[in-house]
Structure 1
Amino acid sequence: MWRSEPWMKAEVPGTRRATIIEKPELAAELLKQGGRILVVCGNGVSTVLSKRSLLDYIVDVAEAVDAHIATSSMAYAKIKSRLTNATWISPMEVAHRVPDPEWMGLDGKGAYKTMVFIGLPYYMTWLILTGLKNFAQSVKTISLDRFYQPNASWSLRNMNIGEWEQFLEALVNKLKA
């Protein structure tokens, strides 16, 4: 049970909760069918796991599904050196723009159909997802962080770092296949 419980106990996510992504195959399929995808990442992307950095996994996922990356972290320069479709913007600013029906995205090519969150502080992601769940219901949200986010459309369950790294490795392999 603890694997699908949110970490912010005092906050009640309401009657709709995220569907748990148990397998990397499901995450890969969701991303492949996601339409225009925006990956929102924070300073947690600097985390170095046992095999590679979280940033490497994020860049691989973004390349595989042709996603745009939005970040305000210090990792922006590293991301921009590897991907052309990265923008420096506050995650909260993105959260305010997405519900606007006239906003044409960071590249001016139209609204995003799917948003992926990874590497942000838990409480910040919680707040952003709460807003999107209530005011941008047409946008599917996916949390790829290692802690369950009940306000997302889809979320990973609570995982230890080893499980999370295995999941990300398998996800990248499925997307590249």
Structure 2
Amino acid sequence: MADVSKNLKVYTTYGPKTAKGTKPSIVAKMIEKAKRPLFVVGSEVLEEELLARAKAIAKKGIPVAATGHSIKGFIDEDGVDAKYINIHFLGTFLCDPKWAGLDDNGCYDLIILLGHKKYYINQVLSGLKNFSDLKTINIGRHYTQNATLSFGNITPEVHLEALDELIDNL
């Protein structure tokens, strides 16, 4: 079992609410309980081994919001519902409880993030933390304090192991 709930060292300042460390099995349970999860991937997901795991997660029936140029990895992929959106627009839209979502089926209740630069996504998550009731989970390899839950700071090998464990539990 990949231990990704430790090493929560923070390199920037943050507010009174900070992410709790989490494990792949807990993330899988939260995804299964969610009514409308959304998998938000960034351009760092285009690395071959990471992309394979992102596609496996998406094929579990979770819609994908592809930000940056990450949409290239999901074009024409069978079993994956991926749509492109700018991460800043997405952050703004997610704060609006009347937004119909990328598929016009209503608001999301759980946001799962992978493949983003920590310093970049942390600012978007700050807005979601302070202006919405959404649960956010960072399954990237760097602890992201503005998420609701986050993996700790882990090596690429442990990260891939954790993602494999998450996929097995979905």
Q: Is TM more than 0.5 here? A: yes
Residue by residue over 1:125-174, the C-alpha shift from the partner in whole angstroms, topping out at 9 and shown as x without a partner, is: 110110000001x2100001101111111100110111111101111111
Determine the structure 2 residue equivalent to 1:148.
143
Amino acid at match of 1:6: V
Amino acid at match of 1:158: N
Match of 1:125 among 106, 116, 121: 121
Distance across 2 between alignment mates of 1:84 and 1:26: 23
For the 8 Å contact 2:64–2:80, the answer to whether it is kept is no
Residue by residue over 1:39-64, the C-alpha shift from the partner in whole angstroms, topping out at 9 and shown as x without a partner, is: 1111101123xxxx211111211221
Q: Does 1:95 align with 2:91?
A: yes
RMSD, matched Cα: 1.5
Distance across 2 between alignment mates of 1:14 and 1:121: 20
For the 8 Å contact 1:17–1:150, the answer to whether it is kept is yes
Distance across 2 between alignment mates of 1:126 and 1:38: 17
Structure 1 spans left out of the alignment, 5+ residues: none
Same amino acid, percent of matched pairs = 27
Structure 2 spans left out of the alignment, 5+ residues: 1-5
> Normalised by the size of structure 1, how large is the TM-score?
0.87
For the 8 Å contact 1:6–1:147, the answer to whether it is kept is no
Residue by residue over 1:84-120, the C-alpha shift from the partner in whole angstroms, topping out at 9 and shown as x without a partner, is: 5211111111001111121100000000000111111
Distance across 1 between alignment mates of 2:16 and 2:34: 24
Match of 1:6 among 10, 26, 33: 10
Match of 1:114 among 94, 110, 116: 110
- Number of equivalenced pairs: 164
Determine the structure 2 residue equivalent to 1:68.
63
For the 8 Å contact 1:141–1:154, the answer to whether it is kept is yes
Determine the structure 2 residue equivalent to 1:160.
155
For the 8 Å contact 2:59–2:80, the answer to whether it is kept is no
> Normalised by the size of structure 2, how large is the TM-score?
0.90
For the 8 Å contact 1:69–1:87, the answer to whether it is kept is yes
Q: Displacement of 1:72 after TM fit?
A: 2.9
Amino acid at match of 1:116: I
- Any idea what SS the aligned residue of 1:70 has? strand
Determine the structure 2 residue equivalent to 1:31.
31
Amino acid at match of 1:5: K
Distance across 1 between alignment mates of 2:148 and 2:159: 19
- Any idea what SS the aligned residue of 2:136 has? strand
Amino acid at match of 2:158: E
